[in-house]
Amino acid sequence: MSRYINPEIEGALAHFRRTAAVAKLIAHHCFLPSEEKDLLHAACMQQHRCSSLLEPESVARLWADTFPGTVLILEDHVPVAVRGVLEAWSVPGSGTALESNLAGILRLAAAFDQEMEAQPADREEVGEILARLRSGVKGGLWPDVTIDALIEATSPASIGNPESWRVPVFPQAALRALKIMRNPEASLADLVDAAGLDPAIAGLTVQLANSALFGSRTRTSTLSQAIMRLGFTTSRKVFLSAVMRPLFSSARLQETWQHSLEVADLAEQLARAAGKTEPAEAYLAGLLHDVGRLAILSVPLYDSARLHGLMSGGCPAMYAENLLLRTDHAEFGAQICAGWRLSQDMVQAIRQHHRPEKTDSRLSHLLYLAEYLSGAEEDLPSVIRLEAALKGSGLTLAAVNNCTVSALGNWLLAA
């Protein structure tokens, strides 16, 4: 996030930004006029004025990197209106009616975000968090109308069942690949026969065999020669990558596909290092771990815009999905893979790949660590979850950090 390495400060600033995104949802549902929304946003972004943890000089250094395009307001230039909201935030019930109202929204949004940060330890769902936050009304922290607005603004959108998601059938070529992968007696000839049935697989295999990565003085022109040059393990990865790619053909999923290739490569390496999970299964799980984003495409336009608004405001994808949908792409992905009749271990791994503390699946733990290495930031960072994944996989953090995307992985990313 920033070239200044101070996790405490960076974490606090990220909290302010998420608070502003949640507060915007509440303000929009309450039909606040634009000038009040602007004042609320400014107050959210100036919370460090009331935080003893942050030194103004440190905040000033980090501000431009953390919030590009915004300006840090120096103490002498904080508008009186913003200062009034912050003072009312510090002392519940104080200030003018407007200051008290905006301070209540800020206070609720900040409290909600803090509860979301505590999820790995408390294991509460969003609905449970919102229900518990209603107790803040009795304490005078925010009025009924404010918590009602947050609950109503985030009522789960209906996106139907898996049959309505327009998810394609599982590729027949992938089924053939899986059969070969799991057959200890499979040969290169079996792979040649299977790959020859799909022009995309054959073309990508020959292209890789003739690339600088597997450079040779003689070019290969046949699929059989290409697979002989690459070997069984490499050819199998090319095979799976080629057949899974069409699942992510939507323009909105191109970034997801690139991320999936990266996670697949890292998960395979981690599985090999851990020694308890078949690397080929880890590679396939990596390719499919975010397939639930196919279902997100079916979210109604209005709710899709709200999801985008939360994410562009600094909320990770899992945070935004759980708030607005009360579920997430990991659960959708598990349902899709169950419909494809993939193994229960694969389904469970994909369902919990962001929640390693909730499962004993080693494959799920490997996926979490691969996500961690990829730096995708799809969820809030969590030491608890990282430690759960390390313990479940049997790997050390040092061993995990030694993994980087392989040369083959980079070639497939660029192909």
**Contact 168/295 with Cβ under 8 angstroms?**
no
Interval 321-373: pLDDT, tens: 999 999 999 999 999 999 998 999 999 999 999 999 999 999 999 999 999 99
pLDDT at 3: 41
> For position 393, which CATH number holds?
1.10.3210.10
Domain of 45 in residue numbering reads as 7-153
Q: In terms of domains, do 398 and 289 share one?
A: yes
Q: Angle 166-372-8 (CA atoms, 0-180°, nearest 5)?
A: 125
What mean pLDDT is reported for the chain?
Answer: 88
Question: Could you tell me if residue 1 is inside a domain?
Answer: no
Task: Kindly report the three-state secondary structure assignment for every residue of the chain.
Answer: CCCCCCHHHHHHHHHHHHHHHHHHHHHHHCCCCHHHHHHHHHHHCCHHHHCCCCCHHHHHHHHHHHCCCCCCCCHHHCCHHHHHHHHHHHCCCCCCHHHHHHHHHHHHHHHHHHHHHCHHHHCCCHHHHHHHHHHHHCCCCCCHHHHHHHHHHCCCCCCCCHHHCCCCCCCHHHHHHHHHHCCCCCCHHHHHHHHCCCHHHHHHHHHHHCCHHHCCCCCCCCHHHHHHHHCHHHHHHHHHHHHHHHHHCCHHHHHHHHHHHHHHHHHHHHHHHHCCCCHHHHHHHHHHCCCCHHHHCCCCHHHHHHHHHHHHCCCCHHHHHHHHHCCCHHHHHHHHHHHCCCCHHHHHHHHCCCCHHHCCCHHHHHHHHHHHHHCCCCCCCCHHHHHHHHHHHCCCHHHHHCCCCCHHHHHHHHC
Query: Considering only CA atoms, which of 68, 21, 18 is closest in space to residue 381?
Result: 18
In a domain, 346, yes or no: yes
Please give the C-alpha separations between residue 63 and each of 152, 164, 201, 373, in angstroms, as whole numbers.
33, 44, 47, 25
Average pLDDT over residues 31-49: 88
In the predicted structure, residue 155 carries a pLDDT above the cut 80: yes
Q: 386 and 348, same structural domain?
A: yes
Structure-block tokens of residue 39: 């004042």
Q: Of 153, 183, 214, which marks where a domain is finished?
A: 153
Most confident of 15-24, 68-77, 175-184, 187-196: 15-24
- Tell which wins on pLDDT, 288 or 65: 288
Predicted pLDDT at 233: 87
Same domain, 327 and 403: yes
Please report the pLDDT score of residue 310 as a whole number. 95
What pLDDT is stored for residue 190 in this prediction? 84
Are 374 and 301 within one domain?
A: yes
**Comparing 108 with 174, which gets the higher pLDDT?**
108
pLDDT in tens, 354-366: 999 999 999 999 9
**Residue 98 confidence (pLDDT):** 96
Q: Quick one: which of 378, 302, 315, 380 has its CA closest to 28?
A: 302
Residue 4 has pLDDT above 50, yes or no: no
d(CA 282, CA 89): 48
Q: What is the count of structural domains for the chain?
A: 2
190 shares its domain with 273:
yes
Domain-located, residue 207: yes
Reported confidence tier of residue 69, pLDDT bands at 50, 70, 90: low
Residues 293 and 197 in one domain: yes
> What proportion of the chain, given as a percentage, has pLDDT over 70?
90
Residue where the block lists tokens 């997801």: 256
Give me the pLDDT at residue 210, please: 92
101 pLDDT band, cuts 50/70/90, is: very high
Q: How far apart are CA 286 and CA 247, in angstroms?
A: 14
Q: Within 10 Å of residue 127's Cβ, how many Cβ atoms? A: 13
Mean pLDDT of 256-271: 97
> Do residue 370 and residue 406 come from a single domain?
yes
Q: Is residue 166 part of a domain?
A: no
The mean per-residue pLDDT over the stretch 218-227 comes to: 89
